[in-house]
Structure 1
Amino acid sequence: MDDTEAVPRLTRLTFHGPLGEARAGAMVDRLARTRPGTILDIGCGWAELTLRILTAVPAGTAVGIDHSAEDLARGRRSAAERDLADRVELAEESGYDTARGPADLVLCLGASHALSDAAPPRHTAEALARLRRLVTPGGRVLLGEAFWARTPTAGELGAMWPDAHAGEHHDLAGLVDVATAAGFRPEWIETANADEWDEFESGYLADVEEWLAARPGDALAAETRTWVDAHRASWLRGYRDVLGFAYLTLIPA
């Protein structure tokens, strides 16, 4: 990779996951209806959804935690632009055994691995047990979690990430069963659609693809080109239409 010019990163993404504007708006409306006074966002990235909820709940405050200093800085800039900086703290810290919370609304979108060191899929149950302790009575948890939309073939597994295996994820029904076993009732069950997935995957690579297109044959960009090509192949030949992503709005029972 050319160290003299940084590769742009994720500027085409509004959310760091397969989440479209229509679904995000409906989520904000549904979660704001409970008027959460405190919000905890685990693995918040740049905290776009949390900032939108804060806008809809003028009395609320939020804490977001993540390991990425770059994403957190983006979130702080966004909060300042929306006059929300005094109502949200974005901290670079681990979610594992976090002392933050309990909160009226806890978001954990694609970050259950931050709450458990167990191997998949057991980490999901451990994460949900911790989320159950982090939410106040009568509050809500919004969990975003991957699941198998169908059983992957051997060829699809071979095209995915290293050591991918069919037992790595639950199916949707199994994922909801794990949530109820952890002490939740599912208020709302929804899954990302194909358009949301395509928008996310394209947006995830778009900045880098544009950067590479301006450097054909550049040996200094070879490492980046190899990584991008491998990720695209993993998506298109491996998990596209196989891996799903569920958004579960959960009520502590």
Structure 2
Amino acid sequence: MTANPEPELPPLHESLTWLTPLSEARAAALIAFLTEPAPADVLDLGCGWGELLLRVLAAAPRARGRGIDSAPASISRAVQQARARGLAERVELEVVPGRDADLTPADAVICIGASQIWGPPVEEAQPLDYAAALQALRQLVRPGGRLVYGEAIWSAPPHPAATAPLSGRDDEFVTLDALVELTREAGFEVLRVDQADLDEWDVFEAGFRDRFTRWLAAHGDDDPAAPAIRDRHEQQRAAYEEDYRGVLGMAYLCLCG
């Protein structure tokens, strides 16, 4: 008996501007950091659909950019947006796992939620290897260049209910203070330390669940897959609102090489 195919959900870019909990105000601050002084080149590792990379290029009209991501749909969206914004001639967007990419140093580097490039596969549910990521990134930032490093942290002590929807491990992430220390050990100068607030997380999680709502609106309750989609929506809502809200955090570090 052939199993029913997995329903195709609407793409996340229809519900989210950023593939991370990030407000417009915080994004503007990160862009200003990366473009003052103006870079000659910008590298975005795990760029998703390229929103931050493209905005940096728009703010630095002489810069060239390169974005890599392993998701073809994300890169397809990034390419479409680069063309729509008149940036296609200044940016190279590639579908390639970060581990396999031929990388060269840049003046401005972005790495948000992509530390797993240099660590164990996500499927192994091992602690995130921040140190390996930061050491690799140190080699990709030219002397005097700038790095925006964004990564998950524990904003509060983890407890079983919070870790269960994630990897189930208390040691999956580190605290903000521990992350700052790891960046210094990797040889970076820490210029600014921020983390997403609950408003940013609420917007991000609501947008993430919105793909389920959109699918249900398009297909109706009579679709055989509707009960499973409703269950996925409720599981995601409960995991966030009842379990890891305020415990799982996202740090944004502005670093100088």
In structure 2, relative to structure 1, the CA distance for the partners of 1:3 and 1:154 (3 Å cut) is closer
Match of 1:155 among 151, 161, 171: 161
User: Does structure 2 conserve the Cα–Cα contact (< 8 Å) formed by 1:96 and 1:116?
Assistant: no
Superposed CA RMSD? 2.1
Residue 124 of structure 1 aligns with an amino acid whose one-letter code is: Y
Counterpart CA distance in 1 for 2:7 and 2:195 is 38
In structure 2, relative to structure 1, the CA distance for the partners of 1:113 and 1:5 (3 Å cut) is closer
TM-score (norm 1): 0.92
User: Does structure 2 conserve the Cα–Cα contact (< 8 Å) formed by 1:9 and 1:208?
Assistant: no
Residue 168 of structure 2 aligns with an amino acid whose one-letter code is: A
Counterpart CA distance in 2 for 1:250 and 1:12 is 30
Partner of 2:197: 193
Task: Kindly indicate whether residue 235 of structure 2 is the aligned counterpart of residue 233 of structure 1.
Answer: no
Match of 1:125 among 118, 123, 131: 131
Task: Kindly indicate whether residue 41 of structure 2 is the aligned counterpart of residue 35 of structure 1.
Answer: no
Partner of 1:80: 83
Secondary structure of 2:228's counterpart equals helix
Counterpart CA distance in 1 for 2:32 and 2:10 is 32
Match of 2:176 among 156, 172, 177: 172
Residue 17 of structure 1 aligns with an amino acid whose one-letter code is: T
Task: Kindly indicate whether residue 9 of structure 2 is the aligned counterpart of residue 7 of structure 1.
Answer: yes
Counterpart CA distance in 2 for 1:245 and 1:156 is 15
User: Does structure 1 conserve the Cα–Cα contact (< 8 Å) formed by 2:64 and 2:91?
Assistant: yes
Partner of 2:253: 248
Percent pairwise identity? 39
User: Does structure 2 conserve the Cα–Cα contact (< 8 Å) formed by 1:63 and 1:90?
Assistant: yes
Partner of 1:143: 149
User: Does structure 1 conserve the Cα–Cα contact (< 8 Å) formed by 2:138 and 2:187?
Assistant: yes
User: Does structure 2 conserve the Cα–Cα contact (< 8 Å) formed by 1:39 and 1:61?
Assistant: yes
Partner of 1:206: 210
Residues 15-40 of structure 1 deviation map (CA, whole Å, 9 limit, x = unaligned): 10001111111211221112111111
Counterpart CA distance in 2 for 1:210 and 1:61 is 36
Partner of 1:99: 102
In structure 2, relative to structure 1, the CA distance for the partners of 1:197 and 1:74 (3 Å cut) is same
Counterpart CA distance in 2 for 1:139 and 1:2 is 50
Secondary structure of 2:171's counterpart equals helix
Counterpart CA distance in 1 for 2:236 and 2:55 is 30
Structure 2 residue ranges without an equivalent (≥5): none
Aligned residues: 250
TM-score (norm 2): 0.90
Partner of 1:59: 62
Q: 1:227 Cα shift?
A: 2.7
In structure 2, relative to structure 1, the CA distance for the partners of 1:40 and 1:238 (3 Å cut) is same
